[in-house]
Amino acid sequence: MPASSEILANARAFVKNELARDSSGHDWWHIYRVTNTALEIARHKNADLFVCELAALLHDVADEKLNASKAAGMEKVKNWLEENQVPEEVAAQVLEIISTMSYNGGHNEPMKTLEGKVVQDADRLDALGAIGIARTFAYGGHKGHLMHNPELAVRTEITKEAYRNAESTPINHFYEKLLKLKDLMNTDYGKKLAAERHAYMENFLAQFYGEWEGKR
């Protein structure tokens, strides 16, 4: 069996190559940040560091946006774990985490394992704070959306239809998703980090609306 450090190095190389062409917010540096945050939370919670790091590294490889289907994406990860001789019990945990962790409007089943909770918190934290704000505007630019449209009512749920009509703006995305995340965190440490990043985003919004009207 290869050493954990060797498996992790191979995972990094694999993911860098897989996500090299992405500009929708799933680039390598998203993975880099999520992995570091996952390790930080994992140390606080005494979670299995190898499982957390490997799951964080691979968590977006199976994303629907980057594959023909979610199933095809999962198959890719499964094959990689086999080819790299990842121990079966670790591979099973990693696959379970990746298959259940996407946001899905906050309607997914709660994560079952501590390691799953840790990695999901780390991914959610990357949608919050200064980085979260930057990613949201980068995404809106990528999609050609207006950054804000005060003539549209604020929506807290966004339908696929509204989305296609470009009625989703980065500012509305705060209400659709970003401001909801702090209440969806799994771990106490994740909650604490999320609360800080949440407050930062509220300040940002107050400043943004003030500047919009020339009042700040």
What are the E-state strand segments in 55-204?
Answer: none
Least distance between ligand ADP and beta carbon 41 (Å):
16
Q: How far apart are CA 59 and CA 210, in angstroms?
A: 38
Nearer to ligand ADP among residue 54 and residue 171 (C-beta): 171
Q: Is 181 in the site for ligand ADP (CB under 6 A)?
A: no
Going by C-alpha positions, the residue among 66, 70, 60 that lies closest to residue 34 is 60
Phi, psi of 94 (to 5 degrees): -60, -45
Q: What are phi and psi of 116, to 5 degrees?
A: -65, -40
Taking contact as CB under 5 A, which single stretch among the options 57-65, 146-154, 161-169, 207-215 is the one that binds Ni ion? Answer: 57-65
User: Contact region for Ni ion (CB under 5 A) — 52-60, 65-73, 90-98, 170-178?
Assistant: 52-60
Q: Out of 37, 120, 168, 186, which residue is the one contacting ligand ADP (CB under 6 A)?
A: 168
Q: C-alpha dihedral over 16, 102, 190, 15, to 10 degrees?
A: -10
> Do residues 191 and 126 lie in contact, with contact meaning Cβ atoms separated by under 8 Å?
no
Closest by Cα among 176, 189, 183, 90 to 139: 176
**Least Å from the CB of residue 127 to Ni ion:** 8
Minimum distance, C-beta of residue 143 to Ni ion, in the bound complex (Å): 17
Per rule CB under 5 A, count of chain residues that contact Ni ion: 2
Site pattern 60..79 for Ni ion (x: CB under 5 A):
x-------------------
Contact 149, 30 (CB under 8 A): no
CA distances from 216 to 5, 133, 207, 213 (A): 51, 20, 7, 8
Residue number of the CB closest to Ni ion reads 123
Ranked by CB distance to ligand ADP, the top (closest) residue is 25
Report how far apart the first and last C-alpha atoms of the chain are (Å, whole number): 61
Candidate ranges 41-49, 78-86, 129-137, 189-197; the one touching ligand ADP (CB under 6 A): 129-137
Per-residue binder mask for ligand ADP (CB under 6 A), 12-41, x = binder = -------------x----------------
Q: Where are the alpha helices (DSSP H) in 19-128?
A: 28-45, 49-58, 70-83, 88-100, 114-125
Closest approach of Cβ 133 to Ni ion, in Å?
A: 16
In the complex, the residues that contact ligand ADP under the rule CB under 6 A are 25, 60, 103, 123, 127, 132, 135-136, 139-140, 168, 170, 173, 177
In the complex, the residues that contact Ni ion under the rule CB under 5 A are 60, 123
